[in-house]
Structure 1
Amino acid sequence: MGQRVNEYGQPIGEPMLNWQPAKAPGDQPMTGRYCRLERVNVERHLDDLYDAYSAAPDARDWTYLSVGPFDTREAYRDCLTALAASPDPLHYAVIDLATGKAVGTLSLMRIDKSNGVIEVGFVVFSRRLQKTRMATEAIFLLMQRVFDELGYRRFEWKCDALNAPSRAAAARFGFTFEGTFRQAVTYKGRNRDTAWFSIIDSEWPLLRAGFAEWLDEANFDSQGKQRRTLQACMAGRRE
């Protein structure tokens, strides 16, 4: 199909005659095979989260975040109290279903219902959560909520352009790199160029099938090692 033009011969975008604004994220928990996401609650989650973060051998996990590290439980309580009260970003605790303990947080943020755009951000995964099935499932649960339940058109991931692990995670989860916003943010007394990534709704069905295949218990051997990578599962669905 050729490019649409208006009466002046100018190119214009495709029509969205049936578009309805997306819904606001709610407080309902999201439960998968390995983890549950629930709204951050200071009394329920403070001790678990502080203990999980304190188990790290150093503070490198906080380098690219606007907050932390926290030397005391009380300092982290102040931060978590602010997170729990925030409507945007809307913060969720990641609960390990095997232990019942909170092992990290992440959020939905920059919530734009009118245009159907939302971002995952403020991802603070402890070492107990990083590189686990739970970590992948936590992102998947948010994607399901955003696309399947709330009706968003675009799901964004942004990070410091120097944050190599975050960029690699975005690519692994199926996000498309869109470019770098130079001198976009200042934090912790330094500049941040911001790398932008996104998934749009037309891409979601194939990605959803790839995530489901990877997360299935049949994809892991008796030692818990994956049989196929997430990228391979997604690529197979595209083919």
Structure 2
Amino acid sequence: MATERLVLRRFRASDAVTLAAYRSVPEVARYQSWDAPFPVEKAEVAVRNFAAGSPEKAGWFQYAIELTAERVLIGDVAVRLHDNLRQAEIGFTLDPAYQRKGFATEAVSAVLDRLFRRQGLHKVTGECDARNKPSAALLERLGFTREGHLRQQTFIKGEWTDDLLYGLLSTEWK
């Protein structure tokens, strides 16, 4: 799948080093389930698992975000398709060197377009740490509605954190 500046594709074995690099940045790992540094060996396993998934089947699928002009991996968009194939959860990670340039908005928008227009989903949800203002802002910019604020919902990295819940219906997608 392609946008004006990006290609969203299946992960390849050659992506492991770059994945490990941006997942090792402390500000990237801060609100995620992994810790920094993120070893290359762990990235190799992750990339193999990502490559084995299917965007059409229930479960997780991870899109690699490649910057077309530089042919470089700059992040990823994760989609967990529910068993009913009508709902999904979405998440995203972007290398800090490529943040604040509209790439995440462009990539997530393309994935949402596929989910709603091609796959016929009814609803897509997103969840983020309440302190992760850029992720919440991205979801809101794309038309998601904040549906909940769960206080001290997740115990991660030695602390309880609040979670924000977002939802977007197919009828609300542009």
TM above 0.5, yes or no, is yes
TM-align CA RMSD: 2.3
**4+ long deviations beyond 6 Å:** none
Query: Does the 8 Å contact 1:34/1:133 carry over to 2?
Result: no
Task: Give the distance between the partners of 2:156 and 2:72, measured in 1 at CA.
Answer: 31
> Equivalent residue of 1:128, what SS?
helix
Query: What is the aligned partner in structure 2 of residue 68 from structure 1?
Result: 35
> Equivalent residue of 2:138, what SS?
helix
CA-CA distance at 1:72 after TM superposition: 4.0
CA-CA distance at 1:198 after TM superposition: 1.2
Q: Does 1:118 align with 2:105?
A: no
TM-score (norm 1): 0.63
Matches within 5 A, 1:120-159: 120-121=90-91, 123-159=92-128
Query: Does the 8 Å contact 1:117/1:155 carry over to 2?
Result: yes
> Equivalent residue of 1:135, what SS?
helix
CA-CA distance at 1:32 after TM superposition: 1.1
Task: Give the distance between the partners of 2:109 and 2:39, measured in 1 at CA.
Answer: 32
Matches within 5 A, 1:72-221: 72-85=39-52, 88-109=59-80, 111-114=81-84, 116-121=86-91, 123-205=92-174
Bigger Rg, which one = 1
> Equivalent residue of 1:93, what SS?
strand
User: How many residues are treated as equivalent by the alignment?
Assistant: 170
For structure 1, which runs of at least 5 residues remain unmatched after alignment?
1-29, 206-239
Query: Does the 8 Å contact 2:11/2:51 carry over to 1?
Result: yes
Highest RCO, 1 vs 2 (Cα 8 Å, sep ≥ 6): 2
Structure richer in strand, relative to its length: 2
Task: Give the distance between the partners of 2:149 and 2:86, measured in 1 at CA.
Answer: 22
CA-CA distance at 1:86 after TM superposition: 5.4
For structure 2, which runs of at least 5 residues remain unmatched after alignment?
none
Task: Give the distance between the partners of 1:45 and 1:175, measured in 2 at CA.
Answer: 30
Task: Give the distance between the partners of 1:76 and 1:188, measured in 2 at CA.
Answer: 20
